Amino acid sequence: MTRSRAARACLSLSNGIAPSLTRHFLHFGPSQTLQTHFGPDPDPPDSLRTRPRPSRLTSDQTQTLQTHFGPDPDPPDSLRTRPRPSRLTSDQTQTLQTHFGPDPDFRLSQNSSKMSLRVLEIVFFLYFASHVPITLLIDLQALLPAHVYPQQLQDVLHWYAAEFKDPMVLDPPEWFKSFIFCEALVQLPFFPIAAYAFLKGGCSWIRTPASSTHHVATTLIPILAHILFFRFPLEPHAGPQTARERWLLVSIYAPYLLVPVLLLLTMLFSKTYNPTTATKPRDQLQLRLKKNERK
């Protein structure tokens, strides 16, 4: 009697559970059906013991995972460092510097560029500062009467002409005198101003007048051509005859060609003297910070 009652109870229980299990199985799948009716698996497989890591998660999926499971203890390498986009806007750059501090690589490159520019400024200062006494004491002797200068300065000029075989300073041709006249009239008043600006450094107002010094470079082209190709006589003042003497004299005049060209390139492409070259967002941010500091 007891066995028959137990058998009928099991039969009725199976008749009631089987249809619900079948419907649940078809609707939710086997895993959720088993967990609903029998509880969670006490020994899940290894694939279910860790949080799944899809190859690419959306921001909502990532936020959901962090909300339920906390931050990822082992993030991928792409998330361990600050992202470095190839091009940043000024607002993005300012945001990154606010939260992460200044970029050490950018700061290092910025310091190196400042140092290189400062070296060039010192070269330009020496160029303009040395030009003042050379123009007044040496070059103008070709235009002014001899009695204007003391004998010591005349002896220095004659020593230079004999040592470096430069007869143009003792017996200058007319075209050479025209160059010296332009130097005394146009360039000489500008030399002290330019020397002060480059000694101080960062004076962007000197850009336009300094760019006009390319006139010196253009005057050096005929002078160098004259030294290299003209057949100088031996009397009354000996000129360069051998290739070595010609190139030695060219080396004396060459800095007055190279420095103005270098100065012109610096005025055109330096971010300090030509703000229009600062097209990158970081450069624009740097200029904006400098303007704020000046205010």
Would you tell me the crossing angle of helices 243-253 and 151-164 to the nearest 10 degrees?
A: 130
Structure tokens at 9: 């109870």
Straight-line distance from the first to the last Cα atom of the chain, in angstroms, rounded to the nearest whole number: 103
- Per-residue model confidence (pLDDT) at position 236: 85
DSSP state of 55: S
Instruction: Supply the pTM of this predicted model.
Output: 0.57
Closest CA to 94 of 241, 292, 281, 294: 281
- What is the C-alpha to C-alpha distance for residues 113 and 289, in angstroms, rounded to an integer? 17
Closest CA to 189 of 141, 137, 136, 143: 136
- Per-residue model confidence (pLDDT) at position 25: 45
- What is the C-alpha to C-alpha distance for residues 213 and 263, in angstroms, rounded to an integer? 8
- What is the C-alpha to C-alpha distance for residues 162 and 283, in angstroms, rounded to an integer? 52
- Per-residue model confidence (pLDDT) at position 26: 46
Per-residue pLDDT tens, the chain, 295 aa: give them.
545 555 554 445 445 555 554 454 445 555 555 566 556 655 555 544 555 555 566 777 777 767 766 676 655 554 555 555 456 666 666 666 665 555 555 555 556 778 888 999 999 999 999 999 999 999 999 999 989 999 999 999 999 999 999 999 998 999 999 999 999 998 899 999 999 999 998 888 998 888 777 778 889 999 999 999 999 988 888 899 999 999 999 999 999 999 999 999 998 888 888 877 655 555 555 666 656 665 5
Question: What count of residues does the chain have?
Answer: 295
DSSP state of 143: T
Structure tokens at 287: 């200029």
DSSP state of 213: T
207 touches 274 (CB < 8 A): yes
| Residue 24 CA neighbour count, 13 Å, CB half | 15
- Per-residue model confidence (pLDDT) at position 230: 92
Q: Provide the residue ranges of all domains of the chain, joining segments of one domain with +.
A: 105-294
